[in-house]
Structure 1
Amino acid sequence: MSQQKFIDRIEEMDILKNHHSNDNPELIIIYGRRRVGKTELINHFMSGHGLYFLATNEGDTENIRNFQRLLSEFFNDKSIEYAHYNDWYSLFASIVNNKNFIEKTKKSKIIIAIDEFPYLIEANRSIPSIFQKIYDSFLKNNNVFLILSGSSVSVMENDVLSYKSPLYGRRTGQIRIKPLKFKYINNFLNYNIEDLCNSYFVLGGIPEYILKFNSKLPFWDNLTNNFLNRGSYLYEEAEFLLRSELREARNYFTILKAIAIGNHRLNEICSYTGMDKSMVSKYIDVLMSLDFIGPEMPFGSNENFKRRLYWIKDNYLSFWFRYILPNKSEIENSRTEKVLNYIKNDFNTYSGERFEFLIRSLIYDGLTGKYYDNVSRWWGKNKSKEEGKNIEEIDIVAYSHERNEILFGECKWTDKKISVSLIDKLREKSRILLEKYNNCNVIYALFSKSGFIGDINTLKDKDIILMDLNDLKSFIEANGN
């Protein structure tokens, strides 16, 4: 990955350093979706001191040859390159008896990283068993730090990490690499805070995607160049990502499109796709395991809540399935301006949804100066209102058990300033929940794209929070480096 800076990954680096500093051999599993930054993490950790091998889908013979060449350079021994090995086991059997290997392991722990390990498995289903034998026979008794990494989350979880895998019980640690948080995006893009938000809403936290945007160009030019041009990277990436990860990709595409255009309940998804409930449920479970979608339940509900909603968690996929897939015919026929105008006309609605998710994640990260145990949305019935008009909703409900504190918040992504009188409506809606949390300290918060109007001075109290994009800018500048 061609990342210009190594951003964040402090926790992951600490894990790797701690494992490397002890006296034991190590087998660390690193995995996460394509382009999320696994290779950059491994190379940054190794800093040139170790052997990094990128597997291909060419099969054992060619991968062994390529691995031999790297080993030959690393151990400064040409005999390794020219030797013939029938399989991985015989190769490692020879290496651990190599005099240069023995000398190196006496001085320090040797790092050997095999990236895209799933390619080896796809070419040879016995690879997990072979590497289990290699580790047990050779590596666990030597001063070696073995890293197995992969982008296919399903292969890594099923064939490497699962209880049924031959490698189960051998790993000494595992790291699932997640997308970068919003607070780091200004390390990549020199944009104002609104366009940083816009960029995050369409790209998410995948460094490779963010690097496709050019800060010298306006946001909408970047979007046009990268999403609305045939053959451009981000125009094609969603299909490549899903087809490389999923079988029966067509059915997953239909489900993701259904969710992206507003079908969030299970019965709505079934109705849109024409699939039965059991089939859709199975596909949804797979998409959740990949962290592509997530369930939403109202604040205070338990795990048995049945009428949960499903949202696409990944911003890039959410944008792509909402705007790119339904308009592929137009894009393929070079009707770029038509599609762009359609996106612009709807973008505030889309951004409003993403803004709510963003604010909830930032509250988890301490946006308000405090931390909360649970941050989610709430919806439910107001018994005092007539049927059909009795559903209430609060964008954000956050709770701290330690402080016995509850926060109620509303998010507004509009081009106009919002009235602080929304606090009064928020107080009214929150009464239903306060019947249960009646002894809590209560805070009310408004989060606005464009700021506020009204008698703001009367609301400057410790139980009222008003935040706009300037406050988000201050937060990421203070916390995102």
Structure 2
Amino acid sequence: MFIGREKELRVLENEYNKKGFSMTILYGRRRIGKSTLLLEFIKRKKTIFYTASRVGAVRNLELLSQQVIQTLAPNMSGVSFSSLENLFSFMTNNLSDERLVFIIDELPYWAEKDEGFLSVLQKYIDNEWLDKNIYIILCGSSLSFMENKVLSEKSPVFGRKTSQIRLDAFDYLDAARFVPNYSLEEKAICYGITGGVAKYLSLIDPKKSLDENIVNLYFDTSGYLYDETRNLLIQEFSDTTLVNNIIEQIAAGKNALNLIADKIHESESAILYQLNKLISVGIVEKKCCITEEKNKKKTQYVLKDYMFKFWYEFVPKGISVIEMGNGKLYYEKMVKDKLHRFMGPIFEDMCKTYTLKLGVQDDFGCFITEVGNWWGTEDMKDEYGRKKIQSADIDVVGVSTIDKAIVVGECKFKNEPIDKNIYDVLIRRTKSIPINYVVKKYLLFSLSGYTKYFDEIDLSHTMLYTLDDLYKD
């Protein structure tokens, strides 16, 4: 069953419905659902769909030739072409008035080893296909290649695309559509353990309990996600040992470049090189304090890919037990009770998404265009009344530069209601934000509701949200 991607399908259909030449660049990390999207799109359309492999240019040419012959001239089975130019010339001569979709999936597998591929493609686009009824889709999983070699100004095909799509993971709302009968809490956790990645979501059996699915995916040696992190790293990196060490440190809370380098005894330049590549493939992100985005001292590296986050937090410590066949017991004893803690930062991300959604609708009395985190210090007093400085953070900060206003929020994914103390801390910490904007609203997000205290106070400047609100249509 095909789920979601309505916006992306509309883009593809709009391009298809144009007359003459058009070209879309589609890219996104592995397992995100690019091929599934394309297969849904090409239903009942005349299509040449070729998925490149790491088999070299000659073999890729042979395999693509078979697809071209099968679609354009099935009576010529067995014909081969000595060059890409000959193949494209054959295509040109056999195009008809009927719209043709021409897809090269996993383009980097071919083009990164054959530097002439994109130049030949550009030549035929410019000289032969601009007046032909052909729709080309170039698709790839290597974000760095697609952005630097296909989309950049230095690319031979720069300026030829008529649209581009970066396919990202599903948000928490679309992810919930894979498990329609789960509770809202379970839907949120499913999003957290999969990161909204289409392939991983499709592996969840909605007829089984959440616990059963987690055990089957992560804590069984035959589980799809048990070895997934290693498989992905091998495909993207040559030095997987160093990259693995970097991810381990980030997962353990070492979020600064110098801390990571010190811990694994490598130069900062070597670490930074790998961090940038981890960012390019969507595993890590560089997080900045929302009020000081240019302050390098307030830059943190965090795991963007929730699947990696879950795996590195729980699987390595249990490998011996899991490989003895006791993964279910390990999950029940060592993981299950920690799911809410694991979900904390993910719930924050969900709440930031929700805040931005409401903010652009002007629900807070200001037009919010950016939502992030704030961290810094606050002035406090110790038990003797002496001044002390302590670290502080705020989960959600939405900024309206046009209205010179902010909204601030606290998020709790716990089995206990938010109480007065959490609310008071949020109000107090807001005073430490170094920005002279008016606070329009205080936002609280709770898995388990609120204490009676909130029934008794003025809430005109405060919004109370639960999962019911976040998942409301």
Residues 72-117 of structure 1: CA distance to partner in whole angstroms, max 9, x if unpaired? 33235412x232211221011122113xx2xx2x3x4321111111
1:273 corresponds in structure 2 to 264
CA apart distance, 1:324:
1.9
CA distance in 2, matches of 1:209, 1:157: 25
Of 160, 164, 169 in structure 1, the residue corresponding to residue 154 of structure 2 is: 164
Q: CA deviation at 1:133?
A: 3.0
Q: Percent identity?
A: 26
Match in the other structure for 1:50: 46
**Shift of residue 388, structure 1, vs aligned partner:** 5.8
Aligned residues of 1:154 and 1:245 also touching (Cα < 8 A):
no
What amino acid does structure 2 have at the position aligned with 1:343?
V
**Which residue number in structure 2 is paired with residue 128 of structure 1?**
118
Alignment correspondent of 1:41: 37
RMSD: 2.4
Query: Partner of 2:211 in structure 1?
Result: 220
Alpha carbons of structure 1 residues 68 and 48: separation in structure 2 relative to 1, 3 Å: farther
1:27 and 1:307 map into 2 onto residues whose CA distance is 41
Q: Which residue of 1 aligns with 2:353?
A: 361
1:60–1:123 Cα contact (<8 Å) kept: yes
- 8 Å contact from structure 1 (residues 255, 269) kept in 2: yes
Task: Please tell me whether the aligned partners of residues 406 and 442 of structure 1 are also in contact (alpha carbons under 8 angstroms).
Answer: yes
Q: Tell me what 2:396 maps to.
A: 396
- Give the AA of the match of 2:222: G
Assess if the C-alpha contact under 8 Å between 1:444 and 1:463 holds in 2. yes
Instruction: State the match for 1:208 in structure 2.
Output: 199
Q: Secondary structure at the match of 1:406?
A: strand
**1:67 — aligned with what?**
64
Deviation at 1:55? 2.2
Equivalent residue letter for 2:230: E
Q: Where do 1:107-186 residues align within 5 Å?
A: 108-186=98-176
Quick one: distance in 2 between partners of 1:234 and 1:87?
40
In 1: Cα distance, 2:262 partner to 2:335 partner: 26
Counterpart among 211, 236, 251 of residue 245 in structure 1: 236
**C-alpha deviation, 1:315, in angstroms:** 0.8
Q: Deviations over 1:40-96 (max 9, x none)?
A: 2222332231312222333344433433333333235412x2322112210111221
d(CA) in 2 for partners of 1:462, 1:5: 43
Distance in 1 (alpha carbons) for counterparts of 2:311 and 2:435: 42
> Which of residues 450, 463, 466 in structure 2 aligns to 1:465?
463
**Whole-Å separation in 1 of the counterparts to 2:349 and 2:206:** 24
2:334 matched to 1:342?
A: yes
Q: In structure 1, what is the Cα distance between the partners aligned to 2:93 and 2:372? A: 56
C-alpha offsets along residues 108-139 of structure 1, whole Å, 9 cap, x if unaligned? 43211111112222553432233233333432
TM-score by length of 2: 0.90
1:232 Cα shift?
1.9
Q: Helix, strand or coil: the match of 1:96?
A: helix
Q: Give 1:5's aligned residue.
A: 2
Q: Residue 64 of structure 1 contacts residue 87 of structure 1 at CA under 8 Å; is this kept in 2? A: yes
Contact 2:194 2:307 in 1 (8 A): yes
Residue 25 of structure 2 corresponds to: 29
Q: Deviating runs (4+, > 6 A) in structure 1?
A: none
**TM superposition shift of 1:193:** 0.6
For structure 1, the 5+ residue unaligned runs are: none
AA aligned opposite 2:369? D
5 Å matches for 1:445-460? 445-459=443-457
Q: 2:176–2:188: 8 Å Cα contact kept in structure 1?
A: no
Residues of 1 paired with 2:112 and 2:290: CA distance? 42
Question: In the aligned structure 1, how far is the partner of 2:424 from the partner of 2:269?
Answer: 44
Q: Is the 8 A contact 1:153 1:245 kept in 2?
A: no
Task: Please say if residues 331 and 339 of structure 1, whose CA atoms lie closer than 8 Å, have aligned partners that are also in contact.
Answer: no
CA contact (8 A) 2:411 2:444 kept: yes
Deviation at 1:183, TM superposition (A): 1.0
1:374 partner letter: E
Paired with 2:167 and 2:306, the residues of 1 have a C-alpha distance of: 17
Report the AA paired with residue 357 of structure 1.
D
1:5 CA drift (Å): 2.0
The 2-side partners of 1:311 and 1:352 are apart by 14
8 Å CA contact 1:152, 1:244 repeated in 2: no
Shift of 1:238: 1.7
TM-score (norm 1): 0.89
Aligned length: 462
Match in the other structure for 1:197: 188
Distance 1:308 1:250 in 2: 24
- Deviation at residue 164 of structure 1 after TM alignment: 3.4
Shift of 1:353: 2.2
Question: Cα deviation per residue 1:322-361 (whole Å; 9 max; x = unaligned)?
Answer: 2223433432333422354222243322111221122112
After superposing the two structures, state which structure 1 stretch, 67-76 or 249-258, moved more.
67-76
Instruction: Mark the runs of 5 or more structure 2 residues left unpaired by the alignment.
Output: none
Taking the aligned partners of 1:461 and 1:339, their CA distance within structure 2 comes to: 41
Which string of whole-angstrom CA distances, capped at 9 and with x for unpartnered residues, describes residues 143-162 of structure 1? 21111111222332333233
